[in-house]
Amino acid sequence: MQLVEKKRLQGVAAVLAAGTGYAFMSILVKRAFELGLGPIQVISLQSWLASIVLLTYALVFKREIFRVSRHTLWLLALQGMVGALGTSLLYAYSLKFLPVSVAILLLYLYPTLVLAAGVFIWHKRVGRQELVALLLTLGGTTLASGIFSGVGVIAWIGIALGLAGAMAYAVFNLVGIVLAKVSPLVVMCYTQWVCSIALLVILKGDIMSLPWQNVQTWELGILLATVASILPFYMILVGIERLGADQAAILSTFELPMTFILTGVFLNEFPTGDQWVGGSLVLGGILLLNWRRKGEQNNEETINKKWAD
């Protein structure tokens, strides 16, 4: 019994650590902006350094990672281009126009978008619990965005970018469901590598567009690649192993309030009352979407079966 409790506590700690790591992403991106880096440069810095670490690890310890089928490779490329690169770039650009508290809430619309895709693409029936969750997340995001109090043109640009980022992250999750039989480590490596190659193309191979001579660039890059990328991904896997996917998904919502707290501590950027209320509504909606009743069949099984037919 003590062993079971110990594993549970380890799982809880791992998921909370992952949420904290991902929450630091927004802080580090804002810091990079202060150094004069643009969104593409920030994401390139993170992706390139993370890719080097993962490639080194794969070559030394996990060469079987390179053995994937052509079909799987295409899906991984889609997830890397639209999901990983699309989400990262769009979210980084939204941070140029919005406070972190609003940008992160817009990104957290992705569970609602995944649910909507299930309804329209796979004709999934929506229960009362999911409908309430949908209304909570939409209402909370609308309230927190400041639409009711009036927003300027620049804020509208940020809101549009944030919503596009949520759509890209929904694609990342939907393709991830189809790739359920692929090792998470393989998914992380390939999506990161695809992202890095795409950024090289976008920047026309000009890796020197980043100020590598600046020590702060390296410091931020290493933190982005490890604390805000590789380590939280690993910790969430540990959490899923110890707790199961359902409980880990519920606990991972810790990232949302943690982001609010960290922006206040490190950026002196405090959410308004509307944003706190909106954030609470979004968090409640996400918890409802992730809370699966005992004996309820996983949606992933249904989706995988649809793809197989």
* Digit-coded pLDDT (tens) for 7-57: 888 888 888 898 898 889 999 999 999 989 999 999 999 999 999 999 999
Q: What is the pLDDT of residue 28?
A: 94
| In the chain, where the domains are located | 2-308
How far apart are the C-alpha atoms of 77 and 120, rounded to whole Å? 24
pLDDT at position 194 is 93
Mean pLDDT of 79-85: 86
Residue linked to tokens 């959490």: 239
Distance CA 255, CA 257 (A): 6
Highest mean pLDDT among 51-55, 143-147, 154-158, 246-250: 51-55
Say if residue 275's pLDDT is above 80.
no
Considering the entire predicted model, what is its pTM? Answer: 0.80
**pLDDT value of residue 221:** 93
Using CA atoms, how far residue 230 sits from 44, 53, 191, 237, 309, in Å, is 15, 9, 12, 11, 35
Residue 148 pLDDT > 60, yes or no?
A: no
Most confidently predicted of 19-28, 45-54, 166-175, 287-296: 45-54
pLDDT digits (tens, 9 = 90+) for 181-230: 778 788 889 989 999 999 999 998 888 888 899 999 999 999 999 999 99
In this structure, the number of other CB atoms found within 10 A of the CB of residue 69 comes to 9
**Confidence (pLDDT) at 293:** 43
The chain-wide mean pLDDT, for the chain, equals 81
Local confidence band at 300 (pLDDT 50, 70, 90 cut-offs): very low
- Out of 19-28, 163-172, 271-280, pick the least confident: 271-280
Question: CB atoms < 10 A from the CB of 150, how many?
Answer: 7
- Of residues 103 and 237, the one with the higher pLDDT is 103
